[in-house]
Amino acid sequence: MSDSDQFNGRMGLIFASIGAAIGTGNIWRFPRMVGANGGGTFLVPWLFFLFVWSIPLVIAEYAMGKRSRTGTIGTFRIFAGRKFAWMGLWTAWISTAIGFYYAVVSGWTLKYFQLGISGALTGEKVDTTEVWNAFLQSPGQVIFYQFIVVLLVLGAIWKGAKAIEKVNFYLMISLFALLFLTLFLSLWMDASDGSLDGALFMFTIDFDMLFEPEVWINGLSQSAWSCSAGMGMCITYAVYMRKDEDTVLNAFTMGLANNSISIIAGLAVLSAIFAVNPDPLATVTGGSSAITFLALPEVFAQAPGGAIGPLFMMAGFFLALSFAAITSMISTVELCVRNFVDHGYDRERSVLITGIAIFLFGLPSAVMWIKLDSAGVAFPEFLEVQDHIWGYGLMFSGLFIAFSIWKYGYIKWRKQVDEGTAPDGLAGYMGLGVSAFRDDFINTGDNDLEVGRWWDIMIYLAFPILFVVLMGSYFTDMIANTENVWDPANPKGLSIILLFWGVVAVTFMFLNKFLIARPLFRNIPEGADVDISSLPGGDDELVVALGDVVPGFEHLAAKETVLEAEITG
Contact set for another protein, span 61-90 (CB under 8 A): 89
Work out the angle between the directed axes of helices 494-515 and 85-117 (0-180°, nearest 10): 120
Alpha carbon distance 167, 169 (integer Å): 5
Give CA–CA dist 486/493, Å, rounded. 6
Among the residue ranges 127-135, 146-154, 377-385, 528-536, the one whose residues contact another protein (CB under 8 A): 377-385
- The yes or no reply on residue 323 touching another protein (CB under 8 A) is no
Output DSSP code: residue 431: I
Q: Which of 3, 165, 560, 564 binds another protein (CB under 8 A)?
A: 165
d(CA 26, CA 21): 9
Contact code string over 490-529 relative to another protein, x by CB under 8 A: xx----x---x--xx--xx--x--xx-xx-----------
Number of residues that bind another protein (CB under 8 A): 120
Which one of 138, 151, 305, 371 is in contact with another protein (CB under 8 A)?
371
- By C-beta, is 255 or 409 nearer to another protein? 255
Q: Which of 452, 461, 552, 558 binds another protein (CB under 8 A)?
A: 552
Least Å distance, CB 7 to another protein, is 9
Whole-angstrom CA distances from 316 to 100, 110, 174, 323, 333 are 26, 11, 10, 10, 26
Does 174 interact with another protein (rule: CB under 8 A)? no
Query: What is the residue type of 385?
Result: V
As a residue count, the chain comes to 569
CB of 155 to another protein, least distance (A): 18
* Choice between 122 and 247, CB closer to another protein: 247
**Residue 111 interacts with another protein (CB under 8 A): yes or no:** no
Q: For residue 69, is it left (φ>0), alpha (ψ between -120 and 50) or beta?
A: left
Shortest CB 374 distance to another protein, Å: 7
| CA 184 to chain CA centroid, nearest Å | 28
| Per-residue x/- track, 440-459, another protein (CB under 8 A) | ------x-xx----------
Helices 72-79, 85-117: crossing angle, 10 deg rounding: 150
Q: What are phi and psi of 275, to 5 degrees?
A: -70, -35
Residues numbered 274 to 303 that lie near another protein (CB under 8 A) are 274, 279-282, 285-290
Subset of 203-242 contacting another protein (CB under 8 A): 203-206, 208-209, 214, 217-218
Cβ(305)–Cβ(56) below 8 Å: no
- For residues 189-222, one letter each, b for 16 or more C-beta atoms within 10 angstroms of the residue's C-beta and e for the rest, the string is bbeeeeebbbbebbeeeeeebbeeeebbbbbbbb
CA proximity to 537, closest of 70, 213, 170: 70
Q: Is 137 in the site for another protein (CB under 8 A)?
A: no
Q: Among 12, 71, 309, 537, which residue sits at the site for another protein (rule: CB under 8 A)? A: 12
User: With respect to another protein, which residue has the nearer C-beta, 71 or 309?
Assistant: 71
- C-beta of 218 vs 523, nearer to another protein: 218
Residue 316 or 519 with smaller CB distance to another protein? 519
- Member of 75, 228, 253, 523 binding another protein (CB under 8 A): 253
Instruction: Kindly state whether residue 345 participates in binding another protein, applying the rule CB under 8 A.
Output: yes
Nearer to another protein, 410 or 474 (CB): 474
Position 159 contacts another protein (CB under 8 A): no
Q: Is 8 in the site for another protein (CB under 8 A)?
A: yes
Cβ closer to another protein: 211 or 514? 514
Sign of CA dihedral 16, 106, 278, 182: positive
Cβ closest to another protein, residue 468 vs residue 517:
517
CA triple 252-254-258, angle to 5 deg:
115
Cβ-based nearer residue to another protein, 66 or 412: 66
Q: CA-CA distance, 3 to 562, in Å (whole number)?
A: 10
Q: Candidates 123, 488, 502, 538: give the one binding another protein (CB under 8 A).
A: 488
CB of 519 to another protein, least distance (A): 10
DSSP H helical ranges for 346-462? 347-367, 381-391, 394-419, 425-428, 434-437, 453-457
